[in-house]
Structure 1
Amino acid sequence: MHPEFETYLRRSGLAEEAVRRVSDLAVARKLRRNELLFSAGEICRHKVFVVSGLLHTFNISAGGNQHILQFAPENSWTLDVESYDRQIPSQVSIGAVEPSEILCWQKKDFDMLLAEVPQLKKFAEGLIARNIHYSRKRILISLSATPEEKYEDFIQTFPDYLARLPLRMIAAYLGISIKTLTRIRHAQLLR
């Protein structure tokens, strides 16, 4: 039994029987701060729900720079969708920013749940649509916004992340240097 997750599913509109079915197939796991769920080059074999903590999906460039694609806080899902769907080596890593508790489902188990629980399939489709909308917005901001606009969007979208993330991770997410981020933050303090 996973009480926090079950409450989350109930709030999402799943019937009690569906909640129990999905929860029963979950495997709980704890990650230490900076521990990797999996590394680039490995196959993403699980859908993951974050019960508590904060994960990030990232890539390290050939030059050693970290590029953060997304964060996954409590009550959110994460995976490398391409690696998971196609069962091919991932181009990204997923790791814990802070100590985290997660629930994992193997692909075969989650595929079975999607086939057997229509409510879950509908719920998953809604999550996928929201992720697509979010990704499009993020791409547009990355391509057209100034560093100041990127930071402003970040603090508007994720206000609680500022206290949870080191500045280097925020800069890596925004695609700007730590020096630029520090300058932006300093300018805001002077306003």
Structure 2
Amino acid sequence: MLSEFKKYLSEYLGLPDEEIQSILSSAIPRKLRRNELLLQAGDVCRHKVFIVSGILRTYSIGVNGNEHIVQFSSEKEWTLDIESYDLEIPSIVNIAAVEPTEAVLWKKNDFNALLASLPLLKKYSEQLISRKIYENRQRLLTAISATPEEKYDDFIRNNPHLIARLPLHMIAAYLGISLKTLTRIRHAQLYR
């Protein structure tokens, strides 16, 4: 698991071996079973998370008991509940494995020390944050203005690697549409 993360650091950041070893020295490998929680609503998010393999979903449960999925994170992606992590307040979301997942975690103080001592990691981290802000803004605009068909088309375009790996009810919960509507859209696409 750590060898895959080491490969990622070398490929995406071009870090020298000693800096990679510094990052790995405070890394916490974690394996999650399908549906196992990494973060439970009400707990404080205390780790930055890199997904080596598998998929995590970030979600909340509505008053009607329905799951509202905010985000999917898969291989070579970072995730956390940023508000809980930054402000050290209880999370309002859960983060759980969709399928068996291998991840690497860092405690906040350890990761902050790495950012302070490794300028390339800090720059890369800032770029990831900016990209995530742009993606979230686009997702919000799509969520409030697109038709269900447009939402699904956008999901397929931006997440082709997830389509076959996610249950339809999770895709529907992410798009904010009913499973019945998603099934109708997919059926209509087959007969275009």
Q: Normalised by the shorter chain, which TM-score bucket?
A: over 0.9
How big is the alpha-carbon RMSD for the aligned residues of Structure 1 and Structure 2? 0.9
> TM-score scaled by structure 2?
0.97
For residues 25 and 94 of structure 1, the distance between their equivalents in structure 2, rounded to whole angstroms, comes to: 22
Check conservation: 1:34, 1:96, Cα contact below 8 A: yes
For residues 48 and 93 of structure 1, the distance between their equivalents in structure 2, rounded to whole angstroms, comes to: 14
Query: Aligned partner of 2:177: which letter?
Result: I
User: What is the CA deviation profile of residues 94-118 of structure 1, one whole-angstrom value per residue up to 9, with x for unaligned ones?
Assistant: 0000000111100010011111111
For residues 79 and 58 of structure 2, the distance between their equivalents in structure 1, rounded to whole angstroms, comes to: 8
Query: Aligned partner of 2:111: which letter?
Result: F
Partner of 1:83: 84
> TM-score scaled by structure 1?
0.98
For residues 16 and 140 of structure 2, the distance between their equivalents in structure 1, rounded to whole angstroms, comes to: 36
Mapping 1:1-191, distance limit 5 Å? 2-13=2-13, 14-191=15-192
For residues 56 and 16 of structure 2, the distance between their equivalents in structure 1, rounded to whole angstroms, comes to: 28
| Deviation of the 1:15 alpha carbon | 2.6
| Deviation of the 1:38 alpha carbon | 1.4
For residues 24 and 2 of structure 1, the distance between their equivalents in structure 2, rounded to whole angstroms, comes to: 10
Check conservation: 1:38, 1:95, Cα contact below 8 A: yes
For residues 22 and 169 of structure 1, the distance between their equivalents in structure 2, rounded to whole angstroms, comes to: 33
Check conservation: 1:18, 1:120, Cα contact below 8 A: no
Task: Give the match's secondary structure for 2:68.
Answer: strand
Structure 2: gaps spanning 5 or more residues: none
For residues 16 and 123 of structure 2, the distance between their equivalents in structure 1, rounded to whole angstroms, comes to: 13
For residues 86 and 164 of structure 2, the distance between their equivalents in structure 1, rounded to whole angstroms, comes to: 34
Check conservation: 1:58, 1:68, Cα contact below 8 A: yes
Identity over aligned residues, as a percent? 59
| Deviation of the 1:33 alpha carbon | 0.2
Q: How many residues align?
A: 191
